[in-house]
Amino acid sequence: MATLIIDGNSYEVADGTKLTVAIENQGIDILHRCGGNAKCTTCKVTFNAGEPDAMNEGEKAKLEEKGDLGEYRLSCQCLCVGTMDVNVLMTMTSTGLDDAGPALS
């Protein structure tokens, strides 16, 4: 099991769960407007601890395209492992959007 920490609350999640899914499963209305395809960046998170060292090509390309490499990570491209303490940056609540996005692929 992995440990996910959000706003000081701790959750146990299955190893390898897509981070966006794990966040959403805790009742947090994180955006995922492209359905988890590394296209929209609305699933962005920052890490207080446990940021994955690895970054896949899709995530790296999108962050480089936006000039945001090193600023945040795409939770749809990260898998839960170990202990991850994250800050969720864009939610339905914080943006006023009424749709988080299509189901995560």
Q: What's the min distance (Å) between Cβ of 57 and ligand FES?
A: 14
Which is closer to ligand FES, CB of 10 or CB of 93?
A: 93
Which is closer to ligand FES, CB of 10 or CB of 87?
A: 87
Kindly list the residues in this chain that would bind ligand FES in the complex (CB under 6 A): 32-34, 36-43, 74, 76
Closest CA to 13 of 75, 56, 59: 75
∠81-5-75 over CA atoms, to 5°? 60
∠101-44-24 over CA atoms, to 5°? 55
Which is closer to ligand FES, CB of 12 or CB of 71?
A: 71
